[in-house]
């Protein structure tokens, strides 16, 4: 009894710290889990009661996010980043090694309850992998000696705070800087500019600059801001999308780590221009390690009058920023799903229109921009639209941050003016033997050496920044199969074409990859891909077949060398599937086997 009243007390305190607001539900559940290591059913009921919402709603949210656990987890929860770039660096071998050393199976919690080991989607450390998370904090540059020490730290129950700092070291690896990363920016300069020249003048500069959404979609940022500014209503919001979930992308992580002031300044500028007083940064759960530093930066900005009440001494200029943490849901990178998540719900994309600029957070007009977009906007306010537009191509002004990883000598962040060729990027990063590039992540496009003269810009190859290099030694299909697993895991399950389609695609790719496929399966993949492109509710499902469809066109030989010569083959080894029954019954008669002759019959079309 005493125990349950302590539990209720703890939860009441957490809920109170969040003002009892149901929009904070995800944040509350994260904290409750930090406290209990998982979310036992009674905690969910208590949270529901304290917030005055239905227990079903709370359970719904708890079950939606990968990093919220409704079943017990180990005191140490270790999740290996499972992007193809981690695998290229040997993550699978390390994962097996760690489990062996800890004497446990993958995807389980050890019997003593001390440690769980599993995998998670790309953690955004592709330039310094193999990577993992331990209790939500990023681990980089894993190798066997490091894992040996982790085994000791776990078994000796050493608190995370006493683990060696270098395990958690995240470097920025900025390899090429242009106007965004290269030029000094004086804090407050953009805010002084908007106070001096007024919001209309800043919007004019934004229009002139031609800045487009740097998350990859490429919508004109000025148009978003103008639409939101003109939308009726006094209460408006600014949201910074730092839910950088596209595998292979990590430029927003570097911006939040090294250029947070610039990003916050861009958000504050936007607040002034559209007439919002509140902003949110939606930070992906994988970047939990950044939270304290970001909060400190916000605090400092409040202290020096760049945030909060009366910014720069102007009583009419109020704006503040809150940080919301995600909890492992790729779909929340889609802006309307992100808003749902910000409101404390599970992140399912909304039907658009209406768009967020008129009906966003809490149905109020909202600008949602990518981290890089806000950073660029702050620079444009200071340096002018013409300055920004002097770089890039006709339709893609300015520069783009690329996150390079995979088979290259110098992975990291490269800032280029739009229009740079793929070949130039490959030369700069030391990728001498590239076979293909996965551009813009699994949702983007796979290109082969024939296309290395294409240019990175919205007119040609649009990208949010992910750039994963596969050299000649790689099997392209390893990457494709990895991506299909990613989409199955990340599909939110709301619409059938995506929920079912991603699974069917994974099964077909696995069938071919394991040598059971025929030409009919390749045709089936194309058919399924086309259905998903037109029938899925949001971009996740519409783009999920891209890697498969692209590679069928660009790397047909990679697929074809795996095919059986018959018209159709079973998806699994029929005879091997009888093995367990043979063992259990001890049977060895002819009827207990399927012969090659049997199977030939069915292979006929």
Partner 1 sequence: MIEPRLKIATCSLAGCFGCHMSLLDLDERLFELADRVELNRSPLTDIKELGECDLGLIEGGVANVENVHVLLEFRARCKILIAMGACALNGGIPAMRNQFTLRECLEESYLRGVGLVNAQIPNDPEIPLLLNQVHPVHEVVKIDYFLPGCPPSADAIWTFVNQLLSGQPIALSYTQIHYD
Using CB under 8 A as the criterion, which residues of the chain lie in contact with partner 1 when the complex forms? Answer: 520, 567-568, 570-572, 574, 577-582, 584-587, 589, 591-592, 594, 598-599, 601-602, 604-605
Rank residues 234 and 589 by Cβ distance to partner 1 and give the closer one: 589
Q: Quote the CA–CA distance of 438 and 445 in Å, as a whole number.
A: 6
Comparing CA positions, the residue from 487, 492, 423, 431 lying closest to residue 461 is 423
Neighbours of 230 (CB within 10 A): 11
Rank residues 219 and 593 by Cβ distance to partner 1 and give the closer one: 593
**Shortest distance in whole angstroms from residue 599 CB to partner 1:** 7
Neighbouring C-alpha atoms within 13 Å toward the C-beta of 54:
4
**Shortest distance in whole angstroms from residue 519 CB to partner 1:** 11
Q: In terms of DSSP bridges, do strands 137-139 and 132-134 run parallel, antiparallel, or are they unpaired?
A: antiparallel
CB within 8 Å of 159: residues ≥ 6 apart: none
Q: Which two tokens stand for residue 244?
A: 């950088």
| Burial label, 561 (beta-carbon count in 10 A; 0-12, 13-18, 19+) | exposed
Rank residues 312 and 531 by Cβ distance to partner 1 and give the closer one: 531
Rank residues 235 and 571 by Cβ distance to partner 1 and give the closer one: 571
Helix, strand, coil % (nearest 5) of the chain?
50, 15, 35
Q: How far is CA 181 from the centre of its chain?
A: 22
Q: Which two tokens stand for residue 38?
A: 């998982």
Rank residues 156 and 595 by Cβ distance to partner 1 and give the closer one: 595
**Shortest distance in whole angstroms from residue 593 CB to partner 1:** 8
Rank residues 246 and 569 by Cβ distance to partner 1 and give the closer one: 569
Rank residues 185 and 568 by Cβ distance to partner 1 and give the closer one: 568
Rank residues 168 and 568 by Cβ distance to partner 1 and give the closer one: 568
**Shortest distance in whole angstroms from residue 598 CB to partner 1:** 6
**Shortest distance in whole angstroms from residue 587 CB to partner 1:** 5
**Shortest distance in whole angstroms from residue 106 CB to partner 1:** 18
Expressed in angstroms, the distance from the first to the final Cα of the chain is 68
**Shortest distance in whole angstroms from residue 602 CB to partner 1:** 3
Could you give the C-alpha distances from 3 to 7, 8, 9, 10, 71, in angstroms and in order?
6, 9, 10, 11, 20
Q: Quote the CA–CA distance of 340 and 540 in Å, as a whole number.
A: 16
Largest CA distance in the chain: 91
Check: CB of residue 295 under 8 Å from CB of residue 323: yes
**Shortest distance in whole angstroms from residue 496 CB to partner 1:** 12
**Shortest distance in whole angstroms from residue 95 CB to partner 1:** 24
Residue 282, strand partner residues: 241, 324
Rank residues 54 and 496 by Cβ distance to partner 1 and give the closer one: 496
């Amino acid at each position: 009894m005493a125990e349950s009243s302590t539990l209720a007390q703890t939860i009441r305190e957490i809920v109170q710290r969040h003002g009892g607001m149901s929009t904070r539900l995800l944040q509350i559940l994260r904290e409750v889990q930090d406290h209990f290591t998982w979310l036992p059913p009674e905690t969910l009921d208590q949270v529901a009661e304290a917030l005055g919402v239905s227990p079903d709603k709370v359970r719904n949210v708890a079950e939606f996010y990968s990093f919220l656990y409704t079943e017990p987890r180990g005191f140490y929860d270790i999740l290996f980043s499972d992007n193809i770039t981690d695998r290229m660096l040997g993550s699978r071998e390390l994962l097996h090694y760690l489990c062996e050393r800890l004497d446990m199976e993958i995807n389980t919690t050890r019997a003593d309850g001390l440690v769980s080991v599993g995998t998670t989607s790309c953690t955004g450390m592709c330039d310094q992998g193999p990577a993992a998370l331990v209790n939500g904090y990023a681990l980089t540059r894993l190798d066997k000696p490091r894992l040996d020490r982790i085994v000791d730290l776990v078994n000796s129950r050493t608190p995370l705070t006493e683990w060696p700092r270098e395990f958690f070291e995240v470097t920025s690896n900025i390899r090429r800087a242009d106007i965004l990363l290269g030029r000094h920016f004086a804090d407050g300069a953009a805010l002084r500019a908007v106070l001096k020249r007024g919001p209309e003048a800043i919007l004019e500069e934004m229009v002139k600059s031609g800045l487009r959404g740097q998350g990859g979609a490429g919508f004109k940022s000025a148009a978003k801001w103008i639409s939101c500014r003109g939308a009726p209503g006094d209460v408006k919001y600014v949201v910074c999308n730092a839910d950088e979930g596209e595998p292979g992308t990590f430029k927003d992580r570097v911006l939040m780590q090294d250029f947070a002031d610039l990003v916050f300044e861009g958000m504050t500028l936007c607040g002034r221009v559209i007439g919002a007083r509140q902003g949110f940064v939606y930070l992906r759960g994988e970047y939990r390690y950044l939270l304290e530093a970001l909060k400190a930066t916000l605090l400092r900005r409040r202290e020096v009058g760049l945030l909060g009440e009366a910014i720069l001494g102007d009583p009419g200029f109020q704006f503040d920023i809150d940080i919301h943490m995600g909890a492992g849901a790729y779909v929340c990178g889609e802006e309307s799903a992100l808003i749902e998540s910000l409101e404390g719900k599970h992140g399912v994309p909304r039907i658009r229109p209406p768009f967020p600029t008129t009906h966003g957070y809490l149905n109020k007009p909202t600008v949602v921009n990518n981290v890089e977009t806000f950073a660029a906007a702050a620079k444009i306010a200071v340096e002018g639209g013409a300055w920004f537009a002097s770089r890039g191509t006709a339709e893609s002004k300015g520069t783009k941050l690329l996150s390079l990883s995979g088979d290259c000598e110098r992975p990291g962040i490269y800032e280029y003016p739009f229009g740079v060729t793929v070949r130039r990027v490959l030369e700069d990063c030391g990728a001498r033997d590239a076979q293909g590039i996965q551009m813009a992540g699994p949702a983007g496009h796979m290109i082969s050496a024939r296309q290395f003269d294409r240019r990175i810009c919205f007119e040609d190859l649009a990208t949010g920044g992910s750039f994963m290099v596969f050299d000649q030694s790689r099997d392209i299909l390893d990457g494709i199969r990895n991506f299909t697993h990613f989409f199955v895991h990340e599909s939110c399950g709301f619409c059938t074409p995506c929920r079912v389609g991603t699974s069917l695609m994974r099964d077909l790719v696995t069938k071919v990859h394991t040598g059971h496929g025929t030409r009919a399966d390749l045709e089936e993949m194309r058919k399924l891909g086309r259905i998903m492109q037109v029938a899925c509710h949001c971009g996740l499902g519409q783009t999920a077949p891209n890697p498969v469809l692209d590679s069928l066109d660009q790397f047909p030989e990679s697929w074809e060398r795996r095919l059986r010569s018959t018209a159709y083959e079973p998806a699994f080894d029929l005879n091997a599937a009888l093995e367990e029954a043979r063992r259990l019954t001890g049977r060895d008669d002819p009827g207990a086997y399927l012969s090659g002759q049997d199977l030939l019959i069915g292979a006929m079309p």
